[in-house]
Amino acid sequence: MGWTSYNADCYKNGKIDRIAEVEKHLVWGSSDTDNHCKHTILKSSLVGTTVYSAIEHIDSEGVRRVFATIFLTSINTKDYYNFFYKDMDESVGPCECDCPKVILNMLTPTDHEYAISWRDRCVEKAKNRKLDKKVVDGLSKLPLNSKIKITSGSNMGVILSKCWANKLKNPSWVDWANRTRYIVSYIKKYGYEIV
């Protein structure tokens, strides 16, 4: 599975429109003359540089199923072939699992093992994003000079104080005993409790 590149022709506000470029490739079997099956794009969403889409497939017997496609995209405006994509569907079990909930909710049930695993990973990642946001929001709302204790990991029990550190525009969490500054992602990973 390699990458495909070409000269893009879909632009929005002077930039390549990744969703429009991807959707050009998702319209196979949509013509009225195609008697075998029909595909319809129900929804597409751009997360970072990846385009997730819910595709409705109706076969020649009228059986409907909705599956997800995942397009990795890249842009190089210095080259004639300025748009790159790598396409796959959920049945290959892609690593990218940031599919929006609105698209996941459109998908019909499947028996495909890789697709089920991918959907589960997307749901789990969305839950973790919500928890991460709560942790970050909780840390940012604590006032200066607040103290927290890391609750797991190799630095379990370390006491951190919220304070201003040199040349930083936001307050930091500092272990004064060891003169060490901790980043929020580390605190998120191991958890904390307010002291």
Give the position of tokens 């003359």. Answer: 33
Q: Which position has the higher pLDDT, 5 or 39?
A: 5
- Cα–Cα distance measured from residue 44 to residue 53, given in angstroms and rounded to the nearest whole number: 4
- 118's tokens: 């991918």
pLDDT single digits (tens) 52-109? 999 999 988 889 999 999 999 999 989 899 999 999 999 998 999 999 999 999 999 9
Element of type H or E holding 125: helix 113-141
> In terms of DSSP bridges, do strands 147-150 and 83-89 run parallel, antiparallel, or are they unpaired?
unpaired
Q: Is the predicted pLDDT of residue 23 greater than 90, yes or no? A: yes
> What is the pLDDT at residue 15?
92
Which sequence spans correspond to the domains of the chain?
Answer: 4-134, 142-194
Residues 6+ apart with CB under 8 A from 46: 18, 19
**Reported pTM:** 0.68
Q: What is the largest CA-CA distance in the chain?
A: 74
> What is the pLDDT at residue 29?
53
Task: Return the SS3 of 116.
Answer: helix
> What is the pLDDT at residue 157?
86
What's the number of CA atoms in the CB half-sphere (13 Å) around residue 100?
A: 14
pLDDT single digits (tens) 25-57? 887 655 554 556 678 999 999 999 999 999 999
In 143-160, which positions are buried (b, 16+ CB within 10 angstroms) versus exposed (e)? eeebebebeeeebeebeb
Q: Can you tell me the mean pLDDT for 148-173?
A: 83
Q: Is the predicted pLDDT of residue 131 greater than 80, yes or no? A: no
Comparing 20-29, 126-135, 165-174, the range with the smallest average pLDDT is 126-135
- Cα–Cα distance measured from residue 122 to residue 19, given in angstroms and rounded to the nearest whole number: 20
DSSP letter (8 states) at residue 143: P
